[in-house]
């Protein structure tokens, strides 16, 4: 299992790709598979851990990202002959080894950072096995062996039957994720908004987010860890997810529904695959529509939200789907 090395696996707070690599690894180990996780040295797993990078380069700014990535990927590839299959959660760089190793590789495409990287996937299309994490995030130029939705450990989230009183924004602080739009929704709705997330774009935060934080109606709690995440999501009235890009998945959306908390999201990317409109949340097109549906959140059955999330986005469902992929490849 090849995880990224931006953050520890599993991440202490932010790190969605590392989190999914961890979820798959630990579930496979529980099922009796012999799994070696290639990740940072401080990573935690019940499988076998191999590493050449001492820590994530986002956690230690003295590290050079490209150097760490090259060392990490080559370290696995030099040992590729020892394994039956390589599961790549590291984007496109490992594909460049495809013709140099005999071990079959399955690559989960966690999203395309830019159309410019698609030629790499396309070049190795015939000898690789690509898995999408939503049908919305597929490229017509590529062939796919399967679609497997990201899976979440239900034990990490608590179903809370009572609705909270605040709106929640949970995710990286960036224009793509709609932090500023969430603030506008809360201000128009005259509701309290709690913002939790990793500041990915400092300029955006200073210009579009920080001026509105007053500690009363608009509150920023920082980058939340697992325990705080469960509490914040579970005790919210609704999660706001007004994205400005075609998001491949959206872990916080599924996590929120695990807690029974409905989601109000812009109808872009994978959101129609994650959210059952008017059943687990609302799909809207703009800020005004988001404000209009806020009173309707009370009609959502929180228990149904959680049940549907577990049926579609549980770690067990994801793992079983990946096992089918492995068997097909082998």
Kindly state the average pLDDT of the residues 270-283. 98
Q: In angstroms, what is the C-alpha Rg of the chain? A: 20
What value, to the nearest 5°, has the Cα angle with vertex 183 and ends 179 and 189? 140
Please give the average per-residue pLDDT across 290-305, as a whole number.
97
| Residue 201, pLDDT score | 96
Give me the domains of the chain, ranges plus CATH numbers.
Answer: 16-151+314-329 (3.40.50.2000), 154-312 (3.40.50.2000)
pLDDT tens for each residue of 232-252: 999 999 999 999 999 999 999
pLDDT of res. 226: 84
Q: For residues 95-117, give the mean pLDDT.
A: 95
Helix and strand numbers, DSSP H then E, in the chain:
11, 12
131 secondary structure, DSSP code = E
Query: 3-state class of 239 per DSSP?
Result: strand
What is the arithmetic mean of pLDDT over 3-20?
A: 95
What confidence category does residue 165 fall into, taking pLDDT thresholds of 50, 70 and 90? very high
142: confidence class by pLDDT, cuts 50, 70, 90: very high
Q: Residue 109 pLDDT > 90, yes or no?
A: yes
Greatest Cα pair distance in the chain: 60
Percent of the chain residues past pLDDT 90, beyond the cut: 97
- 224: buried, middle or exposed (CB in 10 Å: 19+, 13-18, 0-12)? buried
pLDDT tens readout for residues 24-43: 999 999 999 999 999 999 99
Please give the average per-residue pLDDT across 168-175, as a whole number.
97
Q: What is the pLDDT of residue 68?
A: 97
Residue indicated by tokens 């706001």 = 240
Task: Answer yes or no: is pLDDT of 227 > 90.
Answer: no
Q: Is the pLDDT of residue 225 over 90?
A: no
Sheet architecture: strand order including 263-266:
218-222, 193-196, 167-170, 238-241, 263-266, 281-284
Confidence band, pLDDT 50/70/90 cuts, at residue 194: very high
Q: How many residues does the chain have?
A: 330
Mean pLDDT of 163-190: 97
b/e map of 235-260 (b: 16 or more CB within 10 Å)? bbbbbbbbbeeebbbbbbbbbbbbbb
For the four alpha carbons of 206, 222, 167 and 272, in that order, the dihedral sign comes to positive
- Exposure string of 157-186, with b = 16+ CB inside 10 Å and e = fewer, is bebbeebbebbbbbbbbbbebbbbbbbbbb
3-state secondary structure of 220: strand
């Amino acid at each position: 299992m090849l995880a990224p090395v931006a953050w520890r696996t599993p991440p202490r707070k932010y790190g969605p790709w590392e989190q999914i690599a961890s979820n798959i690894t630990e579930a496979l180990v529980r099922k009796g598979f012999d799994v070696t996780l290639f990740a940072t040295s401080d990573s935690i797993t019940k499988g076998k851990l191999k590493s050449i990078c001492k820590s994530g380069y986002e956690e230690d700014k003295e590290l050079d990202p490209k150097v760490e990535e090259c060392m990490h990927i080559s370290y696995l590839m030099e040992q590729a002959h020892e394994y039956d299959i390589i599961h790549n959660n590291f984007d496109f760089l490992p594909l460049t080894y495809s013709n140099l190793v005999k071990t079959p590789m399955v690559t989960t495409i966690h999203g395309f950072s830019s159309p410019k990287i698609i030629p790499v996937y396309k070049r190795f299309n015939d000898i690789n096995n690509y898995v999408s994490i939503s049908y919305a995030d597929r490229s017509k130029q590529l062939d796919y062996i399967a679609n497997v939705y990201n899976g979440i450990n239900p034990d990490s989230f608590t179903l809370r039957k009572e609705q909270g009183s605040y709106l929640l924004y949970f995710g990286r602080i960036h224009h793509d994720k709609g932090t500023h739009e969430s603030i506008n929704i809360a201000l128009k709705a005259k509701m309290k908004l709690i913002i939790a997330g990793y500041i990915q774009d400092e300029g955006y935060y200073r210009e579009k987010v920080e001026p509105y934080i007053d500690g009363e109606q608009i509150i920023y709690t920082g980058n939340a860890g697992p325990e705080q995440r469960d509490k914040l999501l579970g005790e919210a009235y609704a999660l706001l997810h007004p994205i400005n890009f075609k998001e491949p998945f959206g872990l916080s959306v599924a996590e929120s529904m695990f807690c029974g908390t409905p989601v109000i999201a812009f109808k872009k990317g994978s959101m129609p695959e994650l959210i059952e409109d008017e059943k687990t949340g609302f799909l809207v097109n703009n800020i005004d529509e988001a404000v209009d549906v806020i009173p309707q959140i009370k009609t959502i059955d929180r228990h149904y939200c959680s049940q549907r999330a577990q049926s579609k986005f549980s770690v067990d469902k994801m793992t079983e789907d990946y096992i089918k992929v492995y068997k097909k490849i082998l």
